[in-house]
Structure 1
Amino acid sequence: MIDTHCHIQFNSYKDDYEEVIKRCTEKGMILNCVGSQIDTSRRAVEYAEKYENIYATIGLHPVHLFSSEVDEEETKFKTREEKFDYEEYKKLAEHPKVIGIGECGLELFHLPKDANKDEILAKQKEGFLLQYKLAQELALPMVIHVRDAYDEMVEFLTVIARRSTADEAIPSQNGIATPRSGEVRNDICGVVHCYSGNWAQASKFIDLGLYLGFTGILTYPTRKTNPKPTEDLVEVVKNCPIERILIETDAPYLAPQKYRGQRCEPWMVEEVAVKIAEIKGISVEEVREQTVKNALKLFKKLDIWHFHTCPQANLKIPLTKEGFFSKICAFFNKQYSRSIWLFYLLIPRIVNICYLVCALLVILVLQLLFQLFFL
């Protein structure tokens, strides 16, 4: 399976990240390690270089555009203000294992004290557009963060989609430049990660060509005092085409209900797949297989030798610890070098050739039997 959004490079794992990654590898997991500012983006790339089953997404989270207090269930910290350095991030993004840009977007939940909402949104849009331009330049998908700003994000992305060129929507010195009007173009390639909005908003993101990423939030019980958010999210999963769904953890945050209160780890994404299968009335295997295909389609740089060694799409074998090929992959990943893996990618082709040879032999035997008994 693929956890399409985790932060295994965050300080929450600084003392035992190797053990966590080992657990994920043993379960056949592939991780997209997402940066939130320049330091965590660099560390994501370092992990991607070190571990075969880790890839990186680099970018600047909207909470890091300002200095503010962040108080979540799992952690509390003060953000360090940073300005998006286009060239510095571009150097990171050109790494062969960087598969996306982000997470970037609009955030109206964590705001600096006495902040002006309009000024906050203007600065966040400016940061987003620079990262959008980088994604366009390098043909990479975007990992989009939205919290308490879904309507604003839909409106903003719709404006971007009407542009004629990428530079037309880049902010001017005095604010956001207004692009020329035109037909909506569905070329905003990316995923709205950790989706928690309603179906009306979700359908607009889907119309823009985006995927929706679901986390452990989906597994949480309905609150008696405020059931609507959970009901809305279930409705989104029911209505969203399975071809537009990605599964993620946002680890170390948002551990699924089964592990609530613990630090979240990427392998827990299995619980999200189970819940989606339950809501949509399909098998967990179908959710696993389709979400892997979706991830490969969106993050095109994932579709390289690593996935051909255990080709989910071709062999129809879930990338989990129960799969025979996954166990073989894990064994080779632990014991041998990349060159052995490259050799191993020939196995699926050899299997297909064997099937063809067997079919020809059966035809030959049948032909001989026919000649022997009927001629």
Structure 2
Amino acid sequence: MIFDSHAHYDDEQFDADRAELLGSVLPQKGVVAVVNMASDYANLSKTIALCEQYDYIYGAVGIHPECAADLPETWLSDIEALLAHPKIVAVGEIGLDYHWEELCPREKQKEVFIRQLELAAKHDMPVVIHDREAHGDTMDILRKCRPKGVVHCFSGSAELARETVSLGLYIGLGGVVTFKNARHSLEVAKSIPLDRLLTETDAPYMSPVPFRGKRCDSTMIPYDAAKIAEVRGITAQEVLRAGCENACRLFNLPPEILEKQPS
């Protein structure tokens, strides 16, 4: 029972074997659902295409902060039109990234982020938030806008995670919990309520140990779940089931997903 709440299967790293991987390998390995994340304006249609081709793939559409610098005037209305698609379940991946500030100035990132938060609120949809080296500004905006959604690949402290949860948001954790320097992520994994945890990959990135340096995919989530389970004193299956239940709740997906069996 693997729910990957954050992946990028439109990425070129999957071009060689995407059809085999998505068509047979993932379903056979127990992947019951994936939310594919759009990131830049030019490739929004790729997420729509994946949603339409595979019944277990859902999508989020939005502009990643690294891609927010040069957008056409119609970018926001174009995203809004895609929100009507029956398999688009969130606005994302959106947020702030000050690690790659040279790709887009901070003020422009914040403007694009806030406008997408407002769009999600208008349509009562959750958001998928990217926050890299921008905790202060991200939290200031989240306190003001109060969206529903998830902070993916959470990299803050346990204290910041508790505040994030107190705002009504979920926490996404993936392969980083298996890394040697994962002390903060493990503290977060241990301390947040289990009903606020989402399992994710960020595929093709962030592969867990023992796959560091290799392309990541959704079948690797059990390695993350095992590590989270270890620090919480529960079973990996409990973590996987919670991740699935929580994602269904956040993205308003049918609970029948929980009953799917590997095909």
Q: Same fold (TM over 0.5)?
A: yes
Matched, 1:27 2:12: no
Ranges of 4+ aligned residues in structure 1 off by more than 2 Å: 38-41, 81-84
SS at match of 1:5: strand
* Amino acid of the structure 1 residue aligned with 2:12: N
Q: In structure 1, what is the Cα distance between the partners aligned to 2:195 and 2:135?
A: 22
8 Å contact kept, 1:37–1:82: no
Task: Report deviation, 1:207.
Answer: 1.0
1:130 aligned partner: 115
2:143 aligned partner: 158
* Amino acid of the structure 2 residue aligned with 1:252: P
8 Å contact kept, 1:58–1:100: yes
1:38 aligned partner: 41
8 Å contact kept, 1:154–1:204: no
2:157 aligned partner: 198
* Amino acid of the structure 1 residue aligned with 2:192: C
Q: Which runs of 5+ in 1 are unaligned?
A: 67-80, 162-187, 223-229, 313-318, 320-325, 331-375
C-alpha distance after superposition, 1:78-113 (max 9, x if no partner): xxx335711111111110000110111111001218
Q: In structure 1, what is the Cα distance between the partners aligned to 2:135 and 2:161?
A: 9
8 Å contact kept, 1:151–1:201: no
**Aligned CA-pair RMSD:** 1.6
Q: 1:231 aligns with which of 178, 183, 200?
A: 183
Aligned pairs, how many? Answer: 259
Task: Report deviation, 1:284.
Answer: 1.0
Matched, 1:141 2:130: no
Task: Report deviation, 1:216.
Answer: 0.3
Q: In structure 2, what is the Cα distance between the partners aligned to 1:105 and 1:3?
A: 20
Matched, 1:109 2:128: no
Q: Which has the higher contact order (CA 8 A, sep 6+)?
A: 2
Task: Report deviation, 1:121.
Answer: 2.5
TM-score, length-scaled by structure 1: 0.66
Q: 1:63 aligns with which of 55, 66, 87?
A: 66
SS at match of 1:294: helix
Task: Report deviation, 1:311.
Answer: 3.7
Q: In structure 2, what is the Cα distance between the partners aligned to 1:104 and 1:124?
A: 9
Matched, 1:208 2:167: yes
Select the structure of larger CA radius of gyration.
1
Q: 2:247 aligns with which of 266, 272, 295?
A: 295
Q: 1:53 aligns with which of 56, 71, 75?
A: 56
8 Å contact kept, 2:126–2:149: yes
Q: Which runs of 5+ in 2 are unaligned?
A: none
- Taking the TM superposition and a 5 Å limit, the aligned residue runs for 1:1-375 are 1-21=2-22, 22-29=24-31, 30-66=33-69, 81-83=70-72, 85-112=75-102, 120-161=105-146, 188-222=147-181, 230-300=182-252, 302-303=253-254, 307-308=255-256, 311-312=258-259, 326-327=261-262, 330=263
